[in-house]
Structure 1
Amino acid sequence: MGTFSRLRYVMAANFNALLEKAENPEKLLRALIREMEEAGDDARQATAELLAEQQQLERADQRMGEEINEWSERAERAVTAGRDDLARAAIKARTECQARRDTVKADREDLAVRVAQLETDMGTLKSKLNEARARLKAMQARPVPAGAPAGPAPRQISRNERRVRDALGRFDRLQNQVDRLEARVRSYEIGHESAPAWAAADAPADPVVESELEALKARLKPARPANAAKAADAPVDAGA
């Protein structure tokens, strides 16, 4: 899951194994709690930002759907008016808009999966944090044995803390991913504005556009009034 699975090291962490290796378990446990609290804050902020991106993608999807309908109506009006050139341009614009909308839909689905996974990870992190706090409270309630070492812990503690920090520190890359996603959303917002409304007159024929144009013509062809068709097919009276 990439950036949204960076909490799993902590979620899968075996506190007993970590604490057994530490000369000063209480200090290590405090460090673990502090790192988990910071990770939880980062995760909540990331979730809020991604939910905002979701809303922007939903608005872009809705707007593009409206544009697709508008281009379809323009194509029909152009065919009815006998303007195949304008109909081709409208069909091409609709096709390009549909391609952008398909990309937006795919991004929405991917983002929804990532947000759901992040929310699940946050719930698991909360449970681990409660467990760590309970262990620290129990540890502080024990009497300190005589002759217990005092002072700073050996370098092994720093290594354990660094392992946790390295796993949780990958949240720094989350902001970069959010920034990239936000840039893509902005491109959806402005990309359609830079696209030409009508194709150039000397543009090469597009087989897909031509096929859709012929299908549209065939669909609109029966629109001629029935009485007009009968009048056209009626035999001509020679004595008239």
Structure 2
Amino acid sequence: MGIFSRLSDIINSNLNSLLDRAENPEKMIRLIIQEMEETLVEVRSSSARVIADKKDAQRRLSRLQAEVTEWQGKARLALEKDREDLARAALAEKQSIEEEVAVVTQEFNALDDHLLHLSDEISQLQQKLNDAKAKQKTLMMRQTSVTNRQKVRGQLNREQLQDAFDKFERYEQRIDGMESQLEADELGRDPKQGLKTEIESLAQDDSVSEELAQLKAELQAGSDKS
């Protein structure tokens, strides 16, 4: 089923309104253009037939007008020969042909009017088709722009994500390096020796404390004597 039911639907159509209501504007504009092109072919074919009929009417009209002139001449000749009866008959034949001329002339004028109407419709239809193709081009450019923007955005997101991964990897490497350094510093150390040193240090602290207390007592005693 077509989008348009008749030629006037196309000429009076509002492309923007049709596309705004469409679920798939790209598909809709393709269908509209296809139907417009098919209709344009049909209208041009009709115009070709009308042109042919008009030419045929023109030929018949020319032939009939020539016959009118011929019978007019025969009537004149008959009167010149004093044959009024023949002149009367010739004029009657002339009038009969003139009636046919009037009919053919009316047919010719009707065809001419129809052809002018078809020409106007073709002009309007061609303009609508041009508008539709321009609209299609705009839609395609917008679609291409959106697609490119999506690609760029996706690329940026991937780059940002990769940058985050790189930073995390560098942080892990730094931590690994620090841990490795600590482990290297501990290499060759005897855990028992460390414990012994720590206990001896505590004993040394006690010795220093006792000597310090003794010195303080001596100083205090000297102060009391004075």
Tell me the TM-score range normalised by the shorter chain.
0.5 to 0.7
Aligned to 2:103: 103
Alpha-carbon deviation of 1:123?
1.4
The CA distance in 2 between the partners of 1:80 and 1:138, in whole Å, is: 79
Aligned to 2:112: 112
TM-score normalised by structure 1 residue count: 0.54
Cα deviation digits, residues 171-202 of structure 1 (max 9, x gap): xxxxxxxxxxxxxxxxxxxxxxxxxxxxxxxx
Alpha-carbon deviation of 1:80?
2.9
Aligned to 1:54: 54
Which aligned pairs between 1:1-240 and structure 2 lie closer than 5 A? 7-141=7-141, 142=143, 143=146
The CA distance in 1 between the partners of 2:96 and 2:25, in whole Å, is: 61
Amino acid at match of 1:14: N
Amino acid at match of 1:24: N
Alpha-carbon deviation of 1:115?
1.0
Residues 80-89 or 37-46, more deviating: 80-89
The CA distance in 2 between the partners of 1:135 and 1:77, in whole Å, is: 71
In percent, how many aligned pairs have the same letter? 32
Alpha-carbon deviation of 1:86?
2.2
The CA distance in 1 between the partners of 2:127 and 2:137, in whole Å, is: 15
Secondary structure at the counterpart of residue 23 of structure 1: coil
Alpha-carbon deviation of 1:60?
1.3
Aligned to 1:210: none
Amino acid at match of 2:135: R
Alpha-carbon deviation of 1:79?
2.5
Amino acid at match of 2:38: E
The CA distance in 2 between the partners of 1:126 and 1:76, in whole Å, is: 55
Cα deviation digits, residues 125-172 of structure 1 (max 9, x gap): 1111111112122223313799xxxxxxxxxxxxxxxxxxxxxxxxxx
Amino acid at match of 2:13: A
The CA distance in 2 between the partners of 1:35 and 1:130, in whole Å, is: 13
Cα deviation digits, residues 87-110 of structure 1 (max 9, x gap): 222111101100111111112222
Secondary structure at the counterpart of residue 111 of structure 2: helix
Q: Which has the higher helix share?
A: 2
The CA distance in 2 between the partners of 1:115 and 1:137, in whole Å, is: 32
Amino acid at match of 1:93: E
Relative contact order higher in (CA < 8 Å, ≥ 6 apart): 1
The CA distance in 1 between the partners of 2:41 and 2:137, in whole Å, is: 22
For the aligned residue pairs, the C-alpha RMSD in angstroms reads: 2.1
Please say which structure displays the higher CA radius of gyration: 2
Alpha-carbon deviation of 1:38?
0.7
